[in-house]
Amino acid sequence: MTLSIKSTGRICAATVDNISMGGVLLLTDVPLANDTEIVIHLPIDVDATINVHANVARTTKVGEFGVAFIHLTDDEMERISTFVESRAAGKPY
């Protein structure tokens, strides 16, 4: 999946290691500072992606970033909930 850094518009590759209704643990080679606002382009279905606004809440030296969702609409919360449940059930999307 990809993410966009809001301040620069840069698009970067990332992997979701863990996801919940509050945010994600991202793996990426791109350094992200705490409080950086990003947009996660989350593939929630085979042919659907949603753009979720988030802030970097925690960083590590090994490329792991704890990211908290911000400004979620009711529709986005519902779609993320369905996605989280399907991932927990072992479905790819």
Tell me the pTM. Answer: 0.85
When pLDDT is cut at 50, 70 and 90, the band that residue 71 belongs to is confident
When pLDDT is cut at 50, 70 and 90, the band that residue 92 belongs to is low
Q: Specify if 71 maps to a domain.
A: yes
How many domains is the chain built from? Answer: 1
pLDDT digits (tens, 9 = 90+) for 49-67: 999 999 999 998 889 999 9
Domain holding 78: CATH number?
2.40.10.220
Q: Specify if 93 maps to a domain.
A: no
Please compute the mean of the pLDDT values over residues 28-50 and round it to a whole number: 90
Q: Specify if 60 maps to a domain.
A: yes
Are 78 and 85 in contact, with CB atoms under 8 Å apart?
A: no
Is a pLDDT exceeding 90 seen at residue 40?
yes
DSSP label of 79: H
Q: Specify if 67 maps to a domain.
A: yes
